[in-house]
Amino acid sequence: MPFLTGLYAFLFYFAALVLVSGLTYKVVQYSRTPAPLRIPTTPAPTTSSGVVLRMTREVVLFESLFRANKWTWIFGWLFHFGLFLVTLRHLRYFLNPVPAVIEFIQPFGIYAGFAMVVGLVGLWARRFLVDRVRYISSPGDHLMLALLLLIAASGLLMSFLLHTDIVSVKTFFLGLYHFDLRPLPADPVLLLHIALVAVLMIIFPYSKLLHAPGLFFSPTRNQVDDSRERRLVAPWASRFERP
């Protein structure tokens, strides 16, 4: 087994372990965090079905961001929608046989990489050009955007200029499922691309990217505005209630 193949196999096993365990820990932590008060952002739905509809609009359309800032919404939606299509397209490297829907989105997934780059460039420029955003931007914010941009750029480079042996790449990743390590092509851009993806997997559970699962646990979004219909008493305050 070549050293390079073993190194990247270990890297992805480690990255997958950190990603799954870290996300599981954070999701459990979010689910156990009490929300003793009704604090939905108004206007808020008054029924559970309304909350589902609101969350769907927030996840798919970024409704609150659209209301807050149109330019940020454009670049943010471009990046996230592009990332969604690119992620679906990459499932072909991990599934055998490849589902028909994944086959269908392959052409769209290629060009979605450009949407990712445009969105990331716009979001990064915002951190330099908008005074209040520049003031609160930390080095970590810039490094995260740089990491995502490098991943997208290196992927586009392989798609259009420096092609690699994608059959061998798929064989390598399918082999990881069965601990059957197969040779990984030693193309520099490919190695950089998948190394950056592994780094992203490792830091994901401990970064601001946790807003992805965290959105579903946000009380300002997932609560029903029914404080007028029923009394909500926080557990810590129940002992003060009159009999």
Any domain includes 235: no
Our measurement of the distance from residue 236's CA atom to the centroid of its chain's CA atoms, rounded to an integer in Å, reads 35
pTM (predicted TM-score) = 0.89
User: Residue 109: which CATH number?
Assistant: 1.20.950.20
Is 218 contained in some domain?
yes
Q: How far is CA 48 from the centre of its chain?
A: 26
Domain of residue 144, residue span: 39-224
In a domain, 4, yes or no: no
pLDDT of residue 36: 75
pLDDT digits (tens, 9 = 90+) for 69-82: 999 999 999 999 99
Asked whether residue 31 is assigned to any structural domain, the reply reads no
Torsion angle, alpha carbons of 148, 153, 154, 160, to 10: 150
* Domain assignment of residue 50, yes or no: yes
Q: Is residue 214 part of a domain?
A: yes
Q: What is the rounded (10 degree) CA torsion for 234, 236, 238, 240?
A: -130
Residue 87 within any structural domain of the chain = yes
Buried b (16+ CB within 10 A) or exposed e, 67-90: eeeeebbbbbbbbbbbbbbbebbe
Contacts of residue 129, Cβ cutoff 8 Å, sequence gap at least 6: none
Assess if residue 2 is contained within a domain: no
Residues with pLDDT less than 50, the chain: none
The pLDDT of residue 38: 83
What is the predicted pLDDT for the residue at 37? 79
Say how many domains are in the chain: 1
